[in-house]
């Protein structure tokens, strides 16, 4: 029992969980690192997380003693080695798994995930943080948190954002995304689309319905399918992942974007989403300011990785 500020503590065993890699890997946009811990809000609960020996230390406000809301979000019970065992055995994935042990996919609530990624278009991660924070501060329900703690608002309900004017949303810095978010919020609030119900559909149909929402194209639909709707095979291709694929799997060739998508779908398999997260992390963090590429000493690795895609047509 923590002595501070009426919080309760819980230990989540997980030998291979990297809080730093997971919470900073661009899946979620409102976690804040404070001292040696991470603070955020899951649903309507404030929580502080810290890496400890053999697992995670969680601290929340007094509750009913149930922690499933957090266990489910963090996916601590997923067997990471088993997931990686379903990957194809290729050098970039091997190297990424070795360099970022414990990088995990989270399981987000669909509405928050969808809304956040509508805001992500053509924005850097820090800017997405700012937009989401401002939306939560203005339109999110306050949640109980220790005095002076990090974010203390739930993510705004769809109905709350649907009730905003476009100008209200632009005031949060959304720019041209404001009307997209407003209209999508309206459709969700009025049950014109059932986000949770998409889980029961074939992936192509779920994707098609998401792409029918304004501000949602293939990339953002795929993020929601993977990060919130349990479609573990979905492989979102953004600019970073596209760079990674071209560099590490198609060195010296110029595949079309469509070709890359087909290769990814075929090559990475039923746990392709997890593979994508590692490649994304590697592409984004793996090259330093001097321009050195990753994996280090990459020539041999690149040749091996390129061999993986050898014979795969780069046109059509």
List 15, 125, 196, 197, residue binding DNA (CB under 7 A): 125
User: CB 179 → DNA: shortest distance, Å?
Assistant: 8
Spell out the alpha helix ranges (H) of the chain: 19-23, 68-74, 80-85, 91-99, 110-119, 125-139, 158-162, 166-170, 177-189, 203-211, 218-227, 239-249, 257-268, 272-285, 298-309
Q: CB under 7 A: which stretch of 30-38, 71-79, 198-206, 236-244 binds DNA?
A: 236-244
Asked if residue 109 binds DNA (CB under 7 A), the reply is no
Catalytic residue among 81, 123, 219, 243: 219
Asked if residue 94 binds DNA (CB under 7 A), the reply is no
Asked if residue 170 binds DNA (CB under 7 A), the reply is yes
Give the span between the Cα atoms of 271 and 196, in whole angstroms. 21
What are phi and psi for residue 97, nearest 5 degrees?
-65, -35
User: CB 175 → DNA: shortest distance, Å?
Assistant: 3
Nearest to 115 by CA among 66, 12, 186, 22: 186
Which CB sits closer to DNA, 119 or 143? 119
Give the span between the Cα atoms of 66 and 56, in whole angstroms. 16
How many residues sit close enough to DNA to count as binding (CB under 7 A)?
Answer: 38
User: CB 146 → DNA: shortest distance, Å?
Assistant: 27
User: CB 82 → DNA: shortest distance, Å?
Assistant: 22
List 217, 270, 297, 313, residue binding DNA (CB under 7 A): 217
Asked if residue 25 binds DNA (CB under 7 A), the reply is yes
Nearest to 30 by CA among 46, 10, 7: 46
81 in active site: no
The residues near 274 (Cβ < 8 Å, ≥ 6 apart) are 83, 84, 87, 105, 232
List 107, 121, 160, 287, residue binding DNA (CB under 7 A): 121
Let me know: does 95 contact 247? Beta carbons within 8 Å. no
Nearest to 76 by CA among 92, 100, 57, 48: 57
Asked if residue 180 binds DNA (CB under 7 A), the reply is yes
Residues that bind DNA (CB under 7 A): 25-27, 120-127, 130, 170, 173, 175-176, 180, 211, 214-221, 236, 238-241, 256-258, 276-277, 280, 316
Active site (catalytic) residues: 219
């Amino acid at each position: 029992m923590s002595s501070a500020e009426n919080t309760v503590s819980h230990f989540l065993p997980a030998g291979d969980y990297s809080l730093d890699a997971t919470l900073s890997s661009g899946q979620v946009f409102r976690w804040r690192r404070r001292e040696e811990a991470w603070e955020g809000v899951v649903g309507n609960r404030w929580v502080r997380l810290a890496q400890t020996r053999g697992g995670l230390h969680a601290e929340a406000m007094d509750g009913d003693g149930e922690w499933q809301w957090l266990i489910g979000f963090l996916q601590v019970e997923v067997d990471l080695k088993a997931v990686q065992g379903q990957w194809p055995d290729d050098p970039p994935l091997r190297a990424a798994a070795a360099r970022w042990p414990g990088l995990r996919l989270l399981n987000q609530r669909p509405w928050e995930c969808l809304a956040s990624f509508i805001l992500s278009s053509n924005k850097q991660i820090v800017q997405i943080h700012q937009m989401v924070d401002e939306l939560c501060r203005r339109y999110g329900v306050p949640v109980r948190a220790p005095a002076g703690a990090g974010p203390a608002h739930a993510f705004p309900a769809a109905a709350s954002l649907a009730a905003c004017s476009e100008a209200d949303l632009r005031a949060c810095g959304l720019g041209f995304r404001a009307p997209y978010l407003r209209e999508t919020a309206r459709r969700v609030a009025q049950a014109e689309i059932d986000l949770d119900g998409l889980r029961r559909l074939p992936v192509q149909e779920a994707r098609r319905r998401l792409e029918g929402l304004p501000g949602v194209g293939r990339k953002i639909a795929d993020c929601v399918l993977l990060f919130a709707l349990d479609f573990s095979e979905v492989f979102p291709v953004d600019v970073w992942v596209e760079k990674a694929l071209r560099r590490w799997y198609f060195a010296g060739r110029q595949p079309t974007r469509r070709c890359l998508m087909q290769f990814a779908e075929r090559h990475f398999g039923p746990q392709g989403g997890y593979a994508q997260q590692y490649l994304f992390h590697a592409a984004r963090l793996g090259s330093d300011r001097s321009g050195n590429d990753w994996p280090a000493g990459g020539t041999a690795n690149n040749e091996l990785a390129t061999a993986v895609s050898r014979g795969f047509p780069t046109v059509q």
